[in-house]
Amino acid sequence: SQQGEEDPQALSIQEGENATMNCSYKTSINNLQWYRQNSGRGLVHLILIRSNEREKHSGRLRVTLDTSKKSSSLLITASRAADTASYFCAGVPTNYGGSQGNLIFGKGTKLSVKP
């Protein structure tokens, strides 16, 4: 079962606005990754942040990680209609292996960006 929770579950904004999605997880992780999924298709890797990093930027994306609170946030600045998708956080558990596998996914945030 999943051990990550994204918040909010759904987010609707206008083009040009910023979108912030939060993720909380239960298990200790080695690194945390964010993925995007367009409707019913495969996931695309966006960014990876290691457990010893607090913040990372990539283009219009900014990710923060707070290991003490077991939480992460993804900020998309100046959003575009093409950013409409579901966004998932996924952690590589420190006790990697077993039934957890190599990535534990949250339930995702469905982002809708209106033109």
Single residue of 14, 27, 58, 102 touching another protein by CB under 8 A: 102
Residue 41 in contact with another protein, rule: CB under 8 A: yes
Q: How far apart are CA 56 and CA 70, in angstroms?
A: 16
- Residue 8 in contact with another protein, rule: CB under 8 A: no
Distance CA 102, CA 111 (A): 26
108: which 2 tokens? 């995702």
- Decide: is 92 part of the binding site for another protein (CB under 8 A): yes
Identify whether 93 is preceded by a cis peptide bond (ω within 30 of 0).
no
108 lies in the binding site for another protein (CB under 8 A): yes
Q: Are strands 109-114 and 10-14 parallel, antiparallel or unpaired?
A: parallel
Q: How many residues does the chain have?
A: 115
Least separation in angstroms between CB 20 and another protein: 21
Where does 10-84 show beta strands of DSSP type E? 10-14, 19-25, 29-37, 43-50, 55-58, 61-66, 71-76
For residues 43 to 82, the per-residue mask of contacts with another protein, x marking binding by CB under 8 A and - elsewhere, is xxx--x----------------------------------
Stretch of 13-21, 56-64, 74-82, 101-109 lying at the interface with another protein (CB under 8 A) = 101-109
Binding site for another protein (CB under 8 A): 1-2, 30, 33, 35, 40-45, 48, 88, 90, 92, 94, 96-108
